[in-house]
Structures are given as structure tokens and as C-alpha cells.
Structure 1
Amino acid sequence: MLELPELETYKKLLSEQIINKRMTDVTVKEEKLLNCEVSEWSKELQGREVLYIERRGKQLLFHLDNGKRLLLNLGVAGQIQYDTEGTEDGGGTASDAQVMIHFGQQVLRLHGIRQGYVHLLSAKEADQLLSDLGPELLDRKMNLEKFRMLFARKRGMLKSALVQQSFIAGIGNGYADEIAFEAALLPSAKLQELTEESVERLYHSTLTVLHDAIAYGGLGEQPLNTQDHLTGGYKSHVRVIEREGQACERCGSLIQKSEVGSRKTFYCANCQKEQ
């Protein structure tokens, strides 16, 4: 499932190409992804422009020029492709696209979406739908003191907290492991037992991992188009994800794999500690 860095990458690349461009047509092959009839959805979108794109948690929010919001949740395995009409390389094709939004000769294709949706909402409806999400750790309003207060009220295992969207928005299974490694904490470490120094280390480690992952294009497997050389670049920089049996770059011990909260987890038992 795409996480914060992957959605930030899509947001950056799409913003460079579709902002202030008029939607000329839409094609919907899976109506279940929408929150209204296809005819109504199409009528509402045709002629509209995207003013800007916002990421909230693991979702993208397209702000339209009529005040409406197009909320995109890619679900388990959804992907985005944006290229010239008729282009059928780079992964998704016109034949397997579930939803297509046309911008003249260019088309935005959404495909592979399972347990996701593409909803057209008012600003109030969008705010209500996203209200259950926790804070964004990359928000300018977030700081160490607020981070400490957030974790001071939380109990349970570190990884379980990091992936809980109502507690913190945007982090999923993979990046939780990278953050725990950067902080030298076991994913199973109990939050209530962390020292103040450990919480501060966790805060800075979270920012480091997320900023680095965004800078390198995340772990996404499908580029936006053939000109996209950014998506997926973080794969060569991971230190524990899918590295079971390989040497830890910090201490040389072997990376191990187990489960934390029923989630596949990678870590170094030697240099990651409980506190």
C-alpha cells in the first residue's frame, strides 16, 4: 500500500503537469469507486480545473476551481499514470484503467484500486471524511514538544502506534520499520517505557526517514509516466525493509523478520533496543 512518501511523489509530479489545466472528459469503468452516479460525476468534473493538490495521510485531495474536492484513496494497490492519450507503456494502460480523467490530449489514469475510492465532495464533506486522521508529522505546526505530548498519552508497541492512522497520518508498515531502525528502537518497544531521550530520537528519526524517502521518490513501483525518473528511488536506500538475512549497515548483524501486531516486520535485534 502506498504511504506518505509515495503520495508526496505523486503530488509533486502531478502538480507540475495538471494544475490549472481544464478537464475535458472523464471515463469510468468501475462505478463502485465513485460516490455518485457516473453521469453526475462526469458532469461535475468536465470543464473544471485543479487549483492545487493536497496530501492528507495516504490520500490525495484535488482542490477544484468550483470549490469542490476530488478525494483519491488508492487503497491497497492503486496506481496513477499520466501521459499522452493512447500511450500504453509504463504499467497501466487504457484497457485496465478504472477511471480516466482527460486534460485535452493528456489523460490521468487510475488503475489497480482495491478497497479505495475516487469521491467528489464539498469542502465540508471532505473535512468530515478526513477528520478521523491523526496529525501530520511533516506539518509545520508539529514540533518536538507536540510530538512528546502526542506519545505521552499513547500506550502499546511502537510500530502499532506509528501505523495507526487515527494516531499519526500517512505512515504504514514499511516506513515504520525504517523509522524504528533509524531511532535504534525495536518495533516492539513499549511506548510507555521509552525514555525522554528515546522519544526525541524517535522524533528526529521520523523526520529524517520521511524527508529522505520523499527526496528519493519513495518505494513506488510504477512511475507516473516515461519521463518520471524519481518514483521508486528510495528502494536502494532502505536499511531493513525486505532485507531479511542481509547484514545490518550499522552493526553487521543479520536483519531479522518477525511479526509485530500481526504485521510483517524487519529489524536488527543487535542495535535496536527496547528503550
Structure 2
Amino acid sequence: MPEWPEMEHYRQELNKRIQNRKISGITVNRPKSLNVSEEEFRKTVLGTVVERVDRRAKQLIFVLGGERYLLLHLMLDGMMHLGTEADKPDRSTQIELYFGDTALYFIGLRLGYLHLYDKRGLEEELSSLGPEPFDADLTAARFADMLKTRKGNLKTCLTDQHWLAGIGNCYSDEICFAAGLLPSRRPAALEEHETARLYTSMRSVLTEALRAGGYMEMPLYSGDERTGGFNELCRVYDRGGEPCVRCGNPIVFQTLSSRKCFFCSNCQT
């Protein structure tokens, strides 16, 4: 599932390519991916301009004229492709937004969605999300205070969107590895130097992943050589049984709190 680096990467790339462009056509192949009727969606969205693309947590926000917003959550297996009919992947599409000869194809939206909101509806929909990893007011001190009252383990803590928005299975494991901490550690029991290390690792891992284009390997557009570049840079995620890049011990794969989890049992403490 796309996380903070993937969605921020998509936001930046889409703003380069569709910002201030008019939506000239719409195809809806799966009405269940919408939260309104296809007729209302078409009536409201067709002919509007994408003023910009924003992001909140793991979701993209297409800001349209007339204070209307499209909220995209790709969820599991969801992806996008920007291009023409000739170069789009050989996959079924659920929704297509056209910008002249170019279309933004939404693929794999079985669990994901593209919902239409006004300003108030959007604010209500996003109101339960926690702070973002790079929020200016999420200082190291505030992060440490948040951890002190947190129950469960680091894995469930970092992936709780109500507590901290944007991190999922992949980057929680990568962050814990970078910090040298086991995902099973109790947040409230961390020492001061460990919480500081976790905070620094969170920001450094996410920054590195964004620069590499995230770990989702499907190109966003024809000729895209950046998207998915972090997949080869993952130290532990989906690396079960492979040697640890720090100590050489095999990476462990376990299920932790119903989530798949990868870590090094030797150099993460």
C-alpha cells in the first residue's frame, strides 16, 4: 500500500503535469469507487480545472475550481498511470480523468476510492488523522511526549493513522531498523536517546525514500525512471531470510499485531 513517500512523490509529479489543466472527459467503469452517483460526479467534475494536487497522510487531494475536492486513497493494490490509451498498462481501470489527449488512469481501486467533497465534507473526512511526520510543530520533544503515553508496540504505534499520519508497514519497519530498535518495543519504555534516534530515523528514512521515488514500482508515466527506486534500497522490508546489511544475520519475518513485520533480531534491540 502506498505510504507517505509514494503519495508525496505522486503529488509532486502530478503537479508538474496536470496542475491548472481542465478535466475534459470522464470514464467511470466502477461506480462503487465513488461516493456519489456517477451522474453527480460527472456533472460536478467535468470541465473543472485541477488547481493543484495536495496530500494528507496517504491520500491525495485534487483541488478543483468551485471549492470541490477529489480525495484519492489507493489502498491495497491501487495505482495510477498518466498517459495515453496507447501507453497505459494492460490493466482494467476503474476511473479515468481526461486532460485532452492525456488521461489519468486509476487502476486497482477495489478497496481504494476517488471521492468527491466540498470543503466542509473534506475537513470532516480528514479530521481524525494525526500529525504528519514533517509537521513543523512535531518536534523531537513533542514526539517523545507522544510516545510516553502510547500503549502497544512500535509497529502499531507508527502505523496508527490517528496517532501519526502517513506511515504504514514498509516504512515502520525501515524506520525501526534505521533506529536500531525492535518493532516489538513498548513506546512508553523507550529511553530518551532511543526516542531521539527514532525521530531522526523517521525523517531520514522518509526523505531518502521520497528522493528515490518510493517503493511502488509501477511507472507513473511513460519514461518514468524514478518511481519505485526505493524498492531496491529497502534494508528489511520484504527481505525475509536475506542477510542484514549491517551485521549479516538473516532478516526475520514475523507477524506482529496482525501486521507483517521484518527486522534484524541481532542488531535491533
TM-score, length-scaled by structure 1: 0.95
Instruction: Name the structure 2 match of 1:214.
Output: 210
Contact 2:87 2:222 in 1 (8 A): no
Runs of 4 or more, structure 1, over 3 Å off, are none
Counterpart CA distance in 2 for 1:48 and 1:227 is 28
Listed as ranges, the gaps of 5+ residues in structure 1 are none
Contact 1:61 1:70 in 2 (8 A): yes
Instruction: Name the structure 1 match of 2:13.
Output: 13
- Look up the SS of the partner of 1:98 in the other structure: strand
Instruction: Name the structure 1 match of 2:102.
Output: 106
Shift of 1:140: 2.6
Contact 1:92 1:111 in 2 (8 A): no
Moved more, 148-157 or 29-38: 148-157
Shift of 1:45: 0.9
Q: Does 1:62 align with 2:62?
A: yes
Once the two structures are superposed, what CA deviation does each residue of 1:69-116 show, in whole Å capped at 9, x if it has no partner?
Answer: 1101112111101102x2244x355xx111000111110110111222
Moved more, 196-205 or 44-53: 44-53
- Look up the SS of the partner of 2:21 in the other structure: coil
Shift of 1:12: 1.2
1:10-159 matches, cutoff 5 A? 10-84=10-84, 86-89=85-88, 91-93=89-91, 96-159=92-155
Once the two structures are superposed, what CA deviation does each residue of 1:140-189 show, in whole Å capped at 9, x if it has no partner?
Answer: 33211221122122121001101111111111111110000000000001
Counterpart CA distance in 2 for 1:152 and 1:265 is 23
Counterpart CA distance in 1 for 2:87 and 2:245 is 40
User: Which one of 251, 255, 258 corresponds to residue 255 of structure 1?
Assistant: 251
Counting aligned pairs with the same residue, the percent is 39
Listed as ranges, the gaps of 5+ residues in structure 2 are none
Counterpart CA distance in 2 for 1:172 and 1:48 is 33
- Look up the SS of the partner of 2:93 in the other structure: coil
1:97 maps to amino acid = T
1:5 maps to amino acid = P
Contact 1:81 1:92 in 2 (8 A): no
- Look up the SS of the partner of 2:115 in the other structure: strand
Equivalenced residue count is 269
TM-score, length-scaled by structure 2: 0.97
Once the two structures are superposed, what CA deviation does each residue of 1:38-81 show, in whole Å capped at 9, x if it has no partner?
Answer: 11111111111111111111110111121111101112111101
Counterpart CA distance in 1 for 2:255 and 2:157 is 15
Q: Does 1:198 align with 2:197?
A: no
Contact 1:92 1:109 in 2 (8 A): no
1:128 maps to amino acid = E
Moved more, 246-255 or 206-215: 246-255
1:38 maps to amino acid = E
